[in-house]
Chains A and B, each alone.
Chain A
Amino acid sequence: DIGMTQSPDSLAVSLGERATINCKSSQSVLYSSKNKNYLAWYQQKPGQPPKLLIHWASTRESGVPDRFSGSGSGTDFTLTISSLQAEDVAVYYCQQYYSSPFTFGPGTKVDIK
């Protein structure tokens, strides 16, 4: 099974500042022949189901603000919120869909400082 870790567990950022979340997989999720990283990022606000933000590690889902961006390859990935807005307060999860079981990271809680 592929294990997923995230850091930090939580962070507090001032409005308008950058927030950076890291995700690491225990083995590569890069499918070399397709040159695709099987890694997604989700946002979950209190009392709501998760929402897909980014897939293939760096492809923003339709309708997601461009302040959200994903980067990385292989085993190390980053979600960046370039200018934190009040509505971005949430828990963020990474997930690998390279191989079953399709595991999630433990989540990173983002708050306003």
Chain B
Amino acid sequence: EVQLLESGGGLVQPGGSLRMSCAASGFTFSGYAMSWVRQAPGKGLEWVSGISGSGISTYYADSVKGRFTISRDSSKNTLYLQMNSLRAEDTAVYYCAKLGGTSCDSSLDYWGQGALVTVSS
């Protein structure tokens, strides 16, 4: 059974940093691309970032480019999202999601339960 468990969320001040983690199990981690998707309170889904199965290719939404960094550690079956220079508008539930293939041009077939990040002073 595929399981994705996010951690690392919490309250952070504007301008601060946070690192999200997503522990994956139930599938061959290195064989699949992974993504982060966020949802601001009461709003729709926003794709944030994606990384290929090999980790070589990474992609970002314009809203986070230059501030967020996606990475993965296949030895730990873990996906990361390093978030710097956080803004109030980054406040959201952050979901980790597995893609259906090794590259990011795939649908998101499994999702974690999400972790809340609140950016506020």
Contact = CB atoms under 8 A, between A and B. Distances in A.
Is the pairing of A and B real? yes
Contact of B105 (A49, A93, A97): A97
B109 A104 contact: no
12 contacts: A49-B114, A51-B111, A52-B109, A55-B109, A95-B108, A100-B60, A101-B61, A102-B50, A102-B105, A103-B47, A104-B45, A104-B47
B95 A101 contact: no
A61 B104 CA distance: 18
A42 interface: yes
A74 interface: no
A40 interface: yes
Interface in B65-121: 95, 100, 104-114
Contact of B59 (A49, A52, A61, A102): A102
A109 to B, nearest CB: 10
A106 interface: yes
Interface residues of A, number: 26
A107 B47 contact: no
A29 to B, nearest CB: 10
A54 to B, nearest CB: 8
Nearest to A48: B113
Contacts of A49: 95, 111-114
Contact of A101 (B47, B108, B109): B47
A50 B45 contact: yes
Contacts of B37: 50, 104
Nearest to B63: A101
Interface string A42-73: 10100001111001100001000000000000
